[in-house]
């Protein structure tokens, strides 16, 4: 019986932890120890539901592309009604995002940095519009900001401001449902940012607001931008709260989702064309955020 050559591990030998990963022979196969041994097989009870879920999510989008009126699509997209709805949607979604930025970034900072009683309750209230049915949100906005609402009555009598069934009402409804996306994104980024830079700025004489504006905000700018994109996309696709609080008036409150809903009843080809526009916007948003949410894969 011959001794193995120096440097050749024995079959089934356990590698020395001090020497790091080493190749060992096991049953005639060669593998590298010290590295995870991944299983390539997927259990059938998991594989089948996973494929079913993938088909369930992708099939409607495929159907939309298959049934799209590609020949008449240019005429559909250049019609006055489509451009009117698209223009109004872009304006109101951008305005709603601006409102969400002005109000949501300070709110996110408050939740991430300040310590006060009831902070968990405030966070729950902020995220409530995420799970609240949009139609219920529209009814709540009517009760708060309608002409007979608890605040809307005062706005109407004191300043002559009426929000329901106006373009400004569309902005309010979209900001109501979109702002939680921005707050959650910015709060998470603020929690990940090192607060010592902010504390160092205050020790050098800067006020808390100056430290936030000159130090913290530049650090969390990518998170703010990602939250703004999410809020803008959510505002662009808003339907329930908008039709409940602002109505459906062409040129004034009829946004793209509302126009799709109406066109589906009278002109399905136009509805598909409008849906393709919203689908393209969604893909563009996903592509813009790929580095933030898809890089880990």
Written in H, E and C, the secondary structure of 25-61 is EECCEEEECCCCCCCCCCCHHHHHHHHHHHHHHHHHH
- Could you say which DSSP state residue 132 is in? S
Task: Give me the sign of the Cα torsion angle 126, 130, 131, 133.
Answer: positive
Q: How far apart are the first and last CA of the chain?
A: 50
Rounded distance between C-alpha atoms, residue 286 and residue 30, angstroms = 42
Grouping H, G, I as helix, E, B as strand and the rest as coil, residue 224 is helix
Per-position b or e across 166-175, b if 16+ CB within 10 A of its CB: bbbbbbbbbb
Higher pLDDT, 41 or 208: 208
What's the confidence (pLDDT) of residue 29?
44
What's the confidence (pLDDT) of residue 103?
95
Residue 225, classified by CB atoms within 10 Å of its CB into exposed (0-12), middle (13-18) or buried (19+), is middle
Higher pLDDT, 36 or 64: 64
Q: Which helix (H) or strand (E) holds 24?
A: strand 23-26
Task: Give me the sign of the Cα torsion angle 251, 253, 257, 260.
Answer: negative
Rounded distance between C-alpha atoms, residue 52 and residue 58, angstroms = 10
195-241 confidence digits (pLDDT tens): 888 888 888 888 888 888 888 899 999 889 989 988 998 999 899 99
Q: Among 4-13, 87-96, 146-155, 172-181, which stretch is predicted with the lowest mean pLDDT?
A: 4-13
241-277 confidence digits (pLDDT tens): 999 999 888 888 989 899 888 888 888 888 888 888 8
Contacts of 16 (CB under 8 A, 6+ apart): 22
Grouping H, G, I as helix, E, B as strand and the rest as coil, residue 220 is coil
Angle at 38 between CA 36 and CA 44, to 5 degrees: 155
Task: With a cut of 50, say whether residue 7 has pLDDT above it.
Answer: no
Residue 109 near residue 190, CB atoms below 8 Å: yes
Q: Write the CA distances from 37 to 25, 44, 175, integer angstroms.
A: 14, 20, 49
**Mean pLDDT estimate for the chain:** 82
- Could you say which DSSP state residue 17 is in? G
| Ordered DSSP codes for 244-275 | HHT---TTTT--HHHHHHHHHHH-HHHHHHHH
- Strand pairing of 29-32 and 23-26? antiparallel
């Amino acid at each position: 019986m011959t001794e193995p050559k120096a440097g050749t591990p024995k079959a089934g030998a356990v590698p020395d932890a001090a020497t790091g990963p080493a190749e060992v022979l096991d049953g005639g196969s060669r593998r590298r120890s010290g590295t995870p041994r991944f299983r390539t097989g997927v259990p059938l009870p998991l594989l089948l539901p996973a494929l079913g879920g993938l088909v369930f999510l992708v099939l409607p989008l495929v159907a939309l592309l298959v049934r799209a009126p590609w020949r008449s699509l240019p005429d559909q997209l250049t019609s006055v009604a489509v451009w009117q709805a698209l223009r109004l949607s872009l304006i109101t979604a951008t305005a709603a995002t601006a409102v969400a930025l002005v109000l949501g970034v300070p709110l996110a900072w408050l939740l991430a940095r300040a310590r006060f009683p009831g902070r968990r309750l405030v966070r729950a209230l902020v995220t409530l519009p995420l799970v609240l049915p949009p139609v219920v949100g529209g009814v709540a906005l009517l009760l708060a900001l309608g002409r007979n609402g608890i605040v809307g009555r005062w706005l109407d009598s004191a300043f002559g401001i009426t929000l329901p069934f106006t373009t400004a009402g569309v902005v309010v409804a979209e900001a109501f449902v979109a702002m939680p996306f921005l707050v959650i994104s910015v709060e998470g980024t603020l929690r990940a940012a090192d607060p010592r830079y902010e504390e160092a700025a205050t020790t050098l004489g800067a006020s808390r607001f100056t430290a936030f504006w000159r130090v913290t905000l530049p650090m969390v700018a990518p998170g703010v931008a990602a939250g703004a994109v999410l809020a803008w996309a959510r505002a662009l696709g808003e339907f329930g709260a908008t039709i409940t609080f602002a109505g459906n008036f062409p040129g004034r409150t009829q946004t793209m989702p509302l126009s799709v809903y109406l066109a589906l009843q009278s002109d399905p080809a136009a509805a598909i064309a409008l849906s393709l526009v919203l689908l393209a916007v969604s893909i563009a948003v996903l592509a813009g955020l790929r580095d933030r949410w898809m890089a880990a894969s």
